[in-house]
Structure 1
Amino acid sequence: MRLIALRLVGFIVFSTVNSQRNKACTKNVNLWKSIQYQLKLAETTDGCCGYKTKELRGQNKVGFLARFSKNQRNVHSGATLVFDNVVTNTGSGYDASTGQFVAPYEGLYYFSWTILTGTSSYFISDIFHNGNKIASNFSDGTGISTGHISASQSVMLQLAAKDRVYIKTHRTGQFRYGETWSTFSGFRI
């Protein structure tokens, strides 16, 4: 990138000297303006095309991963699931005290959650966007005699800034595993 910039500067100096010799030549002046614009564009986008400068420097990036810190039995129906162990929270959109993700920026977001349950247990959950149920997840271990079973679900949502996304339980009396087994994640595309 620097080599290109040095070559352009050399060309600009040559063009400037040349334009002083031929004051009537407006082509070089227009070329000079175009080169200045291209250099400024290359500086502000770090040489990349089609990206906003702020996004290249880490701004407007949003992503989180949270999980349960412990197992939970007899969960009440309609309770918001609080994934209290936050692993990543770029953009500070996820609140581990409420279990809600609040979009810091408008955009297209991807969310996913996984629930692990054991034998003779089940766990049904739903993802909500501003109070509207979007999708459901059913981890059903009632039909297995040994082991565990997990279920995952994912959605893509167009969010406005300050929109809320969260997961609620669907029934009472459920069981789910915590630690690294049950997670909630999302990011801005």
Structure 2
Amino acid sequence: MKTYVSCIVLVVLCSSAVKALSKDWAYFYLKTACSLMGNSGGVQYPTSDSRVIAFQAKANKRLVNIPRHHAVKFGHIIINKGGGYDSRTGKFTAPVAGVYFFDWTIVTDNGDEFNTDIVKNGAVFGTNLCRVRLVSTNEKPCTATARIEMKRGDKVWIRVTDNGKDAHMTISTFGGHKL
């Protein structure tokens, strides 16, 4: 009787709650139990590729005089679903393979210049040129986007192209998500 009740509980779990599981180990054990019991009732099991992967970070300090080809570190994480963004390095590491969409905004003012590239594993995939005239009293946001195909473990970051003279904190951002 005890085995029969356990099977009923697992069948109920298999048919109604598999999609809601977020822990890989729980998913693995439940999927294994369901397949051992012959569950072929059309349950669509989630894959690691179906989890949400998204991040958004902003500068937590003024970005001043960053040397050529150094990573821009957006130190304040707003969202980091999937855990791919590392604020210490400024780099996003793809937890799963796929095509990712990235955007980054640099905000300068009063004659400042802050030019950046988006880089995957050392190769440039896009550029964002941001320069404001000296006579301007307004801030200028410069935004660029990129769609990049990535393998699991590939890294993407924003780096300074030539000279990261001065950019505003809190409104300079870097984000992305898996399509």
Q: Which range, TM-score by smaller chain? A: 0.7 to 0.9
> Where in structure 2 are the equivalents of 1:124-139 lying within 5 Å?
124-139=115-130
Cross-structure match for 1:83: 74
Cross-structure match for 1:142: 133
Conserved 8 A contact 2:98-2:151: yes
Residue 184 of structure 1 aligns to which amino acid in structure 2?
F
Residues 99-124 of structure 1 deviation map (CA, whole Å, 9 limit, x = unaligned):
11000000110000000001111110
Cross-structure match for 1:29: none
Conserved 8 A contact 1:111-1:156: yes
Pair 1:175-2:170 in alignment: no
Conserved 8 A contact 2:54-2:176: yes
Tell me, what secondary structure is at the counterpart of 1:139? Answer: coil
Cross-structure match for 1:95: 86
Residues 135-181 of structure 1 deviation map (CA, whole Å, 9 limit, x = unaligned):
100111125421111110001011110011011001235110011x1
Cross-structure match for 1:185: 175
Gaps of 5+ in 1: 1-35, 46-52
TM-score of the pair, normalised by structure 2: 0.73
Tell me, what secondary structure is at the counterpart of 1:171? Answer: strand
> Which protein has the larger Cα radius of gyration, Structure 1 or Structure 2?
1
Kindly report the root-mean-square deviation, in angstroms, between the aligned alpha carbons of the 2 structures. 1.9
| Range with greater deviation from structure 2 (59-68 or 152-161) | 59-68
Cα distance in 1 for partners of 2:136, 2:57 equals 30
Conserved 8 A contact 1:78-1:169: yes
Q: How many correspondences in the alignment? A: 141
Conserved 8 A contact 2:114-2:163: no
Cα distance in 1 for partners of 2:160, 2:106 equals 11
CA distance 1:157–1:173, change in 2 (3 Å): closer
Conserved 8 A contact 2:63-2:164: no
Gaps of 5+ in 2: 1-38
The list of structure 1 runs, each at least 4 consecutive aligned residues, that deviate by more than 4 angstroms after superposition, is none
Cross-structure match for 2:46: 54
Return the match for 1:71 from 62, 79, 90. Answer: 62
TM-score of the pair, normalised by structure 1: 0.69
Give the fraction of aligned pairs with identical amino acids, expressed as a percent: 27
Cross-structure match for 1:160: 151
Cα distance in 1 for partners of 2:150, 2:114 equals 27
Residue 85 of structure 2 aligns to which amino acid in structure 1?
Y
